Amino acid sequence: MGGDQDDFILGNFGIPSVTSEMGFFGQYIEDWRCQSKAVCFEILRENGRWMEYIFSNIGKIAQTVVPK
């Protein structure tokens, strides 16, 4: 669940890219699994907040990107 492709696209083409990643900070694909409904709900709640922030601020974020 890494952002290697995002780094490649930005570095080579100057195109910002976002990878959707689910889970808590520090979890890795080898050990990520939904252990209970409560844990799943919390992961979705936290990631939903992040997505709402991105959508609400995409204009400001886009202004900081400088094309090559």
Domain ranges of the chain: 4-19+28-63
7-52 pLDDT per residue, tens:
787 788 887 776 666 666 666 655 566 778 887 888 788 888 888 9
Both tokens assigned to 41 = 């709900």
Model pTM score: 0.47
- Number of residues written out for the chain: 68
- Contact indicator for 24, 46 with CB cutoff of 8 Å: yes
pLDDT at site 56 = 93
CB within 8 A of 9, min separation 6: which ones?
15, 16, 17
